[in-house]
Every structure is written in structure tokens, then in C-alpha cells.
Structure 1
Amino acid sequence: MPTTRRTVSAEVAFAAETDHLAVLSVAAARTGGGRPAERLSLRVDGVEAELEEAEDLHGTRLHLARVPGGAQCTVSYALELDGGAGAPPPAESVDFVRYTRPSRFCPFDEMAGTADALFPGARGGGYGTLQRVRDWVHEHLDYVAGSSTATDTAVHTFLTRRGVCRDYAHLLITLLRGLGIPARLVSVYAPGLSPMDFHAVVEAWHDGTWYVLDATGLAPRTEFVRIATGADASETAFLTTLGGEITLGEMRVSAESSAPGTEDQEARVVLPLPDGRGSGVTGR
């Protein structure tokens, strides 16, 4: 049987208005093995900058560089990944605390009682609760590009009933946490996504496993390549500036699979680390 190959890439241009520390989160999550054919660079005024790699939660790889004010910068990343996918990162006890607390974009404490009112009797309802909440968000939001800002929280999305992938993810996380279910945001490369971009999805905990949920339904979950994992988009942004300002320029993201799958929202899917082993489908 031919080996499935996923090819992903990203190019992000930005202008540094002032001196700052740039934090990139575009590389696929860490694995225990090698990562052949991976390339990452940051060019500052045409000269390749030195990048320092730092590991964040759940295999997230951050790359840091000092950038002077006035510089024109380009981030380039490419990865070819053969095979399926390996095991998800292990869950730690603190995860169940971290991912049931309110966070910057998922303030479920401001929506007190909303989750229980929308889903009566859903607490302790098993995997069906995850699917039920996912379906509600999918059915009640409209995907509208440009309809939200970088500071909008799940409360704003709930009220306006529209947004993009991060808004869908934030509202889904907020409602799940409101039901006492640990949930977190994952940024991914998503073969099959249209329009193509970095994609935000959700992992929710049930019975010893983190299951991936995508309320947009825009791409097959079995094709996703994990980039970063955190409480919400504040911990998974593809570019963060510390101590300065930038102007974002042109951005291009690509994600392709040699054997494209189709999305089955009834399937239970895990989002493993991208080490090229095994399968991400666990059943229905």
C-alpha cells in the first residue's frame, strides 16, 4: 500500500516597527523521532537570523529571535511527513485543572449557566456530550471571514453567532468547560481546508483520550498536522511579538495530502504528534 505523504508550508512577511522579540509557532509539534525534509528560516532584511528553539506544552515548538526596528522580515517553513500519525501527547494531572479553568478567550465564568441551559442533563453524558456540543456550535454559527477581531472572546461569538475557525473553537471550548469537560485549542495544518490558512480546532477529554473536534467541519480531521496546543489562541498564535510592534504583511499557507480523506463527523478521531506512525481514527 502506498505511503501517504502530507506536505505543509507557510510563509509570513512582517515589518518590525520597533525592536522586539519575535516568537514563531509555525513548526510541527515535537516528536520523539527525526523530522526529515523540514526547513524553517527567518530572514531579516534578507539575512537569515539565528533562531532559538524552546519547547512549550504538549510538544509545541517555539522559535525565538531578536528583530530590530525598521526591519523587513520573512518567515518560511516547509515539512514533508510520510505515513500516518503517532500517539497523542500523554495527559498530565494538571491538564484537567488547566483546561477546565477560564482563559483569556474562553471566559466560561462569564457565561454562567449558559452551557447547562443549552444542554440540560449533559454533564457526565459521555462522548455523546462532546458531539452534541460540537453540533450545536456548527449549526448555530455562520462562518464569515473578517467578522471578528483578534480580541473577541467566546462571549462575543455567542452573541453575534458568526466568526472564523478560532471563534468556533473558542465557543466550543467555553461550552465544554462550562459542562466540566477539559477542552483546549490546537493550531494545525489542515489538508483539504478551504480557504487555506492556519486552522484552529479543539481537543476535548473523555475516558482517557483527547478527541479532536472541529465545529467548522471544513477539513478532514484525520489529515491534521499538530502545530501548537494551549488553553486558547493566546497560547497558540503563529506569531507573537514581545516588547514591540509589527505590521503583518502577506501570508501564504499550504497543506496537501497525497491521499486526501473525507470528513466523518461521527468518527472518533485523535490528533497525534506528527511522527509518521499509526492511525488517528479510533472508531465511531
Structure 2
Amino acid sequence: MKRDVSAELEVAITAPTELEFQIAVAPHPNAKVSESLSFVLDGKPVQPLEISGTHGNRIHKLQVPGGVLKVDYAATVTGRTEPAPVTEYDQSMYLRPSRYAESDKFFGFAATEFGKYVDSETLLERVSSWVGTRLSYVPGSSDPIDGAADTLLAGTGVCRDYAHLVVALLRAVFVPARLVSVYAPGLYPMDFHAVAEAFVDGQWRVVDATLLAPRQSLVRIATGRDAADTAFLDNHKGGINLNWMTVTAVVDGDLPSDHIDELVSIC
């Protein structure tokens, strides 16, 4: 499989700030990755500091005094990578509640809804189906600081809201789960996409309750507890405005077919 992905952003900096971008694909062992990344501030190229984070997350960090920053990223991923490794630390960390996936608020509820399902594979399918039918996908319906409990009460959200609720419910029934930001060929409207990953049958399996893109063609960007770890742009101090952003993700040939009851890993 050959996948071409790209992201272009224009950010207006209104006061000196520190910017962190997570838009570059994570390392893909055994796959061939070619990429380009440029940052141009008021017409002049600037060089970011690349920080390697957990799970291969790549943070590109800049100190910017002001002006207009244009960011251009493109990558071609040919072939498939190895399934994400699983550590004992992962299995502990991703059972714990986090900022946007407050699984401790869901223990009683999740036990009532899903307690009769004992194996992780069935839990994965049931939780994904439940969230997909319970929520309505409505762009702009949620706030960036909404967590899984807010999403459940509202009944609407976007991809990160779906993923947070899936993660919180799975952790509440003792299945380790985490959030992954991805490029998603076939997604409409096209954007950065968020999905969940759960530890099932010895591997990390991807869950996308939105059903908006086939899981087999996803390209991993960043992995973490929730959106606090995987945001495509963070700023510390100062002030910024995102003027515009364009994301693309396509495959060479037809998109793969996907079925909710299949176990799929991001590769």
C-alpha cells in the first residue's frame, strides 16, 4: 500500500510564543517513508527543534517572536509497518483515567452496559458500536476542553470526542486504551483524525466509532493518553490564530473495505 499525506497551515502569531507541532508521521519500521517539512516565518525559513517523544511522537518546536508562520508537510508511506509494540508500562498507564478520558467516572455505567461481555474482543466491538450509535457526528458541536463525560451528556461530537468516549469506556471495563492522531485516507471532510487503540488479543487494535475512514489505511502521527498528548498544534504563552489549514490523505488505488467486527492494527 502506498499512502500520500500532507498538511499545510498558516498561523498568525500576535505575541511572542513557543509553538509545538505534531504533524509529522511517526517512525514506520519496515515501511519506506519519504517526507518534507518546512517552516517559513514572514517569508524566511526557520528551523524547528525536533523532539522525539513516547511511541515515536515527533514534536517540532519553535520560539516565535511574532509574524505569520507557514508550515508545509508532505510524506509518502510505501508498505506497511510493524504493529505497535506493547510494554508492561503501556498496559498499566492506559488503564488509568486521564484529562479527557475520565474512566473513573464511568465504572458503574460501563459495568451496567458492558459487564456481561467477558472477552476483550467482544468488548471492543460492543463499545465501538454503542458509541457510534449513541453519538451524532456534528462538526463544531463540542468544545476543545470537553472530556468523555461531556460528550456522553451532549450526545454529539467530532472524532476526538468519539475516541475519548471509547477510550474512557474501555478503561472502565479494564481494557487498556489510548488515543492516536492519524492521517486518514477516505475521511470526509478531510482533516486530522483521532481514533482509539485498545489492547486486545496481544496487540494494539484500532477503534474508530465514527466509521468515517477505513482503519487499514490509517497513518500514525502521535499516540498518547488523550488529545492533550496528541494535539497537532500547541502554544505556550503569547497568542496565535490559525488562519487556515489543509490536510490531505490518499491511497494509491482503491480504499480497503472495513468491517466493525474485524480486529485491525494500525500498520
User: TM-score scaled by structure 1?
Assistant: 0.90
Q: Does 1:208 align with 2:212?
A: no
Partner of 1:243: 237
* Equivalent of 2:177 in 171, 183, 196: 183
When the two chains are superposed, the root-mean-square deviation of aligned CA atoms in Å is 1.4
- Secondary structure class of the residue paired with 2:197: strand
In 2, are the aligned partners of 1:59 and 1:89 still within 8 Å (CA)? no
Structure 1 residue 104: Cα displacement:
0.5
Deviation, structure 1 residue 88: 2.0
Alpha-carbon shift at residue 33 of structure 1 (Å): 6.3
2:116 is matched with 121
Corresponding position of 2:256: 261
5+ residue gaps, structure 1, are 273-284
C-alpha spacing 1:34/1:264, structure 2 compared with 1 (3 Å): closer
How much does 1:53 deviate? 1.0
Report % sequence identity: 43
Give the secondary-structure state (helix, strand or coil) at the position aligned to 2:100. coil
Distance 1:34 1:191, change over 3 A: closer
Q: Is the contact between residue 19 and residue 244 of structure 1 (CA under 8 Å) also seen in structure 2?
A: yes
Q: Which residue of 2 aligns with 1:6?
A: 3
User: How many Å separate the matches in 2 of 1:78 and 1:271?
Assistant: 19
Shift of 1:112: 3.6
Question: Displacement, 1:75?
Answer: 1.2
Alpha-carbon contact 1:31-1:59 (below 8 Å) kept: no
Contact 1:169 1:200 in 2 (8 A): yes
Residue matched to 2:26: 29
- Name the CA distance, whole Å, in 2 between partners of 1:148 and 1:119: 26
Post-superposition offset of 1:232: 0.3
Contact kept, 8 Å, 1:189 with 1:224, in 2: the verdict is: yes
What residue number does 1:130 align with?
Answer: 124
Q: TM-score, normalising length from structure 2?
A: 0.96
* Number of residues of Structure 1 aligned to a counterpart in Structure 2: 266
Structure 1 residue 36, shift from structure 2 partner: 4.6
Deviation of 1:74 (Å): 1.2
What is the CA deviation profile of residues 100-154 of structure 1, one whole-angstrom value per residue up to 9, with x for unaligned ones? 11101011212341111111323x4231111111100001110001000101111
Contact residue 219 and residue 262 of structure 1 kept, 8 A: no
Q: Is the contact between residue 52 and residue 65 of structure 1 (CA under 8 Å) also seen in structure 2? A: yes
Q: Which moved more, 1:132-141 or 1:57-66?
A: 57-66
Distance in structure 2 (CA, Å) of the matches to 1:96 and 1:74: 39
- Quote how far apart the aligned CAs of 1:95 are: 0.8
Using the TM superposition, give the Cα deviation of residue 14 of structure 1 relative to its aligned residue in structure 2, in angstroms.
1.0
CA contact (8 A) 2:184 2:217 kept: yes
Q: Which residue of 2 aligns with 1:77?
A: 73
Would the aligned equivalents of 2:181 and 2:220 in 1 still touch at CA under 8 Å? yes
The reply on whether 1:55 has 2:52 as its aligned counterpart is yes
4+ long deviations beyond 3 Å: 31-37
Q: Could you say what secondary structure the match of 2:111 adopts?
A: helix
Q: 2:86 aligns with which of 76, 82, 91?
A: 91
The C-alpha deviation readout for 1:62-85, integer Å capped at 9, x for no partner, is: 11111113x1111110011222x1
- Please tell me whether the aligned partners of residues 180 and 223 of structure 2 are also in contact (alpha carbons under 8 angstroms): yes
Q: In the superposition, relative to structure 1, how do residues 263 and 241 fare at CA in structure 2: closer, same or farther (>3 Å)?
A: same
Partner of 1:282: none
